[in-house]
Amino acid sequence: MGVRTATAGRAGWKPRTLPLAAVCAALLGAGACETGLDPTPDDGSPPGPDVRAPFPIDRGDEGIDTPGKYKGLWLRLVNNGEPEVTSVDGIIGVVCLGMSDAADECADFVARINSHWLNEVAGDVVVLNCSREAFGVEHWIDPAYDDETWGACLYLLMPFLGIRPEQIRVVYHKAANHSTVDELGRPLPPYPDSASNYHRLYRNLGAFSERLKTFFPNVQAVYTSSRAYGGYARVPGRGEPVAYEEGHAVNSWLADNPTVGGVWYGWGAYVWAPPCLSDEVNGAGVCFEPADFDADGVHRSGQGRGKISWMMHQRLLHEGWYRR
């Protein structure tokens, strides 16, 4: 799902794999990783121990020197194959959906595919940025917000750009819960608690898939991404492991729902990555540093948005409908 590259991280830097104990100490504190389970399982899961410190889901197959599971959840991205995507009157309409970070990242992505990557993207691909600031997945599934979410896309942006609803064939969904705290403002408990953000997002993804074709009846494929690293967040409920565990919620939901109502569902870019101070990266060769975020430690800076849109582009280059 991408090639490790120094370009996406720091100039002149090659990723290296540290001993597992050192990774645990850097990310969550010494001793946080070991659970005593067999590091060479025979159940088909990735090799390596089961850990309690976040580690990139897309790197679990690298051997017993890296983790294989997180709290029993496999560190392997679900691969649901490649969907069939066709144009309508010469257009493959791609809609970005999500909230504020998704809006900023999609804007950066659109700017780059119309400049830097123009000769790499198929000429019939048109990307529309319908993400809405402060509207998480729970707003997109609530009919009370339809005018501000789906309606703003269908009746304002699309007519302005001359794109018809039936030409929307692909949705790129940056799936994230807007509310990650309880009624008292406290962060939700971590997985596997039944009240965790993991379980909340899993349920919301199901509701999202049930509503999607109401608004985009011709959609053929949905690419889903989750949050990036949250360890720099200064906002309650946005820190780790919230962002990381939302990635596992997406992974679990996609494993259970490769298609819904004839629509293919699969991973977009896996954009969660460790902090650069850990000397670890995700499968695309990316790590995050404070300069990748605004002052709140949640929203991406221009530098951070560039990393995300680069990962989006690299992921979609694997798809025949996207490549020139």
The sign of the dihedral angle between the CA atoms of 69, 71, 74, 75 is negative
pLDDT of residue 231: 95
Q: Which amino acid is at 287?
A: C
Q: Domains in the chain, ordered, with CATH? A: 19-76 (no CATH), 92-316 (3.40.50.1110)
Spell out the per-residue pLDDT of the chain, length 324, in tens: 333 333 333 333 334 444 555 555 544 443 445 555 677 888 899 999 999 999 999 999 999 999 999 999 999 999 999 999 999 999 999 999 999 999 999 999 999 999 999 999 999 999 999 999 999 999 999 999 999 999 999 999 999 999 999 999 999 999 999 999 999 999 999 999 999 999 999 999 999 999 999 999 999 999 999 999 999 999 888 889 999 999 999 999 999 999 999 999 999 999 999 999 999 999 999 999 999 999 998 999 999 999 999 999 999 999 999 999
Q: Which residue has the tokens 């064939």?
A: 169
Contacts for 194-200: CB closer than 8 Å, 24+ residues apart: 196/245, 197/242, 197/245, 197/246, 197/249, 198/245, 198/246, 198/248, 198/249, 198/252, 199/249
pTM of the model: 0.90
Separation of alpha carbons 60 and 270, rounded Å: 13
Sequence-separated (6 or more) residues with CB below 8 Å from residue 299? 100, 101, 104, 293
